[in-house]
Amino acid sequence: MNPATRALRAACALVALVLALPVLAQARDAAARYPDRPVRLVVPFGAGSGPDVRTRQLGQKLAEAWGQSVIVENRPGAGGQLAMEQVARAAPDGYTLVMAGQSPMAIAPHLAKLRYDPLKDFAPVTRTSKGAIVLVVNPQLPVRTVAELVEHASRNPDRLHAASWGTATVTHLALELFTRAVGVRITHVPYRAAAQAVGELVAGEVQLAFDFYPAIGPQVKAGRLRAIAVSGRERLPALPEVPTFTEAGVREMETLSGWQGVAAPARTPRAIVDRIQAAVARALALPDVRASYTDSGFDTVGDTPEEFAAFIRAEYARWGKVIAEAGIRVE
């Protein structure tokens, strides 16, 4: 490269830097003032649902900390895809956020062509909660442990029936993950809703299910269902006598959970993402918030943007593999 060319390139770089300085200063000022107007937090579930209740509690704590309104907007439909699509198109300024979840971020992309890319169109902020999956059986089924269930299913391939909230829901995919891990065949029976699935399980129309504690807890406490394993590294406080899957010898189920987390549109300035993450993490650490989540069968998280992004990628890969191996399709 001749001296004239080097000089020209250096001059261009200097001009670009000078032109960029006002933009960088403006971005720093915006981050320092954030938030200086109401923040909208979109929830992909209906009003009164568990995720909605937890999000509203979090929104209230954020509003108190920021001195600005946090407007929780319910946008149910299409398994959470409508909410994700709405926020993916929003201005990347931190004033429109979404309570992202497992289905629209890690499951749906493997089943349909979406109008958003879960790995490219969002800036992960922090995972807010994780909920253990509980394996429950109808008490009429003569099994009390995972080992006994595996033995029974091995002797009766396809004759046991497992309920789920519907095809390709996490309660269905948990079944697929389990049967592949232990090498048995269990027939999947999808229902339209959690209440219907639990009702049929209690009635004995199906023999087992993988579900969250809020859905099956009362039935377990009443003796109408028997819990035999829970996901996670530690036992569920509400079911301290029930072993983890790892304790039962099925380590593949250890990290299985239902989860939610805050995400912003892609290209949201990192300084704003960090301010949101810090505020959410502080709110999740408050004793009353932690207690409320625990009572509903969930743990608070509050991880970093990098940790949440890595978690989403891992979940995306995990469920893509399960869906492909099981040949799952949705109409």
How far is residue 286 from each of residues 34, 128, 149, 300, 302, measured CA to CA in Å? Answer: 22, 13, 40, 10, 11
Q: Which fold has domain 133-253?
A: D-Maltodextrin-Binding Protein; domain 2 (3.40.190)
* pLDDT on residue 25: 47
* pLDDT on residue 330: 85
Average pLDDT value for residue range 10-39:
68
Worst-scoring range by mean pLDDT, 24-33, 64-73, 230-239?
24-33
Tokens of 242: 């029930």
pLDDT at residue 17 is higher than 80: no
* pLDDT on residue 20: 52
* pLDDT on residue 24: 45
206 vs 27, residue with greater confidence:
206
* pLDDT on residue 326: 94
* Number of neighbours of residue 106 by Cβ within 10 angstroms: 25
* pLDDT on residue 296: 83
Q: Return the CA Rg of the chain.
A: 23
Cβ–Cβ under 8 Å, residues 125 and 276 = yes
* pLDDT on residue 107: 96
Tokens of 209: 């299910």
Query: What is Dmax (Cα atoms) for the chain?
Result: 87
Total residue length of the chain: 331
* pLDDT on residue 255: 92
* pLDDT on residue 84: 97
pLDDT in tens, 175-216: 999 999 999 999 999 999 889 999 999 999 999 999 999 899
Average pLDDT value for residue range 12-26:
55
* pLDDT on residue 26: 52
Find, among 69, 64, 61, the residue nearest to 287 by Cα: 61
Choosing among 3.40.190.150, 3.30.1120.10, 1.10.3720.10, 3.40.630.10, the CATH entry for 37-130+258-326 is 3.40.190.150
Segments of the chain assigned to CATH 3.40.190.150: 37-130+258-326
Find, among 145, 148, 155, 162, the residue nearest to 210 by Cα: 162
pLDDT in tens, 73-132: 999 998 899 999 999 999 999 999 999 999 999 999 999 999 999 999 999 999 999 999
Segments of the chain assigned to CATH 3.40.190.10: 133-253
pLDDT in tens, 278-322: 999 999 999 999 999 988 889 999 999 999 999 999 999 999 999
